[in-house]
Amino acid sequence: MTRLNPEELERRRRAQLGRTITGISALLLMILSAVLPNIMVQAATVLPGRSLIPASHFFLIANPNAEAFSGAKSVADAGLGISITYLGLAFQQVGLLTGLASFWVLIVDDVGRWTRRVVMVSGVSLLLGASTVILGRHSLRV
């Protein structure tokens, strides 16, 4: 076993600190994305909440014929907008579940490539979730 020189030890310590900050930041941002308000329909009479789970529940049971969606071009457009928005919220839930299970991969120095792929699935799901919710919101507004 060879001894590492002080410069190498300092470089490894700085790298570990950077990875730790990145991993903890990712965890905090994922928690905030689940707790902070997401999307809501202002004309909806029953507002269970605007965080991820209540918003998902609202769009799961939403009726495109309801008065809250009267601003859409047609009932079919409202239904498509509701479905797209719910799909985006579902992508976010999948991304959060896989991200919470694997955020530690960002912190450790050496992990297998299959473990890093789980983190990649989480990131892609979160990205698809955000863009799909915005697309659904646009479909409901126009």
Could you read off the pLDDT of 97-138 as tens digits, one per residue? Answer: 999 888 888 888 777 777 778 888 898 999 999 999 999 888
Q: Is the dihedral of CA 99, 100, 104, 110 positive or negative?
A: negative
| Residue 62 burial class via C-beta count within 10 angstroms: exposed 0-12, middle 13-18, buried 19 and up | buried
- Whether the pLDDT of residue 47 is over 70: the answer is no
Residue-by-residue DSSP string for 7-40: HHHHHHHHHHHHHHHHHHHHHHHHHHHHHS----
> Is 133 in contact with 40 (CB distance < 8 Å)?
no
- Whether the pLDDT of residue 94 is over 90: the answer is yes
- Whether the pLDDT of residue 139 is over 90: the answer is no
**Model's pTM, two decimal places?**
0.82
Identify the CA nearest to 51 among candidates 30, 36, 29. 36
- Whether the pLDDT of residue 42 is over 90: the answer is no
- Whether the pLDDT of residue 21 is over 90: the answer is yes
- Whether the pLDDT of residue 89 is over 60: the answer is yes
Segment 47-64 shows an average pLDDT of: 83
53 — pLDDT class (breaks 50, 70, 90):
confident
- Whether the pLDDT of residue 23 is over 60: the answer is yes
pLDDT of residue 128: 93
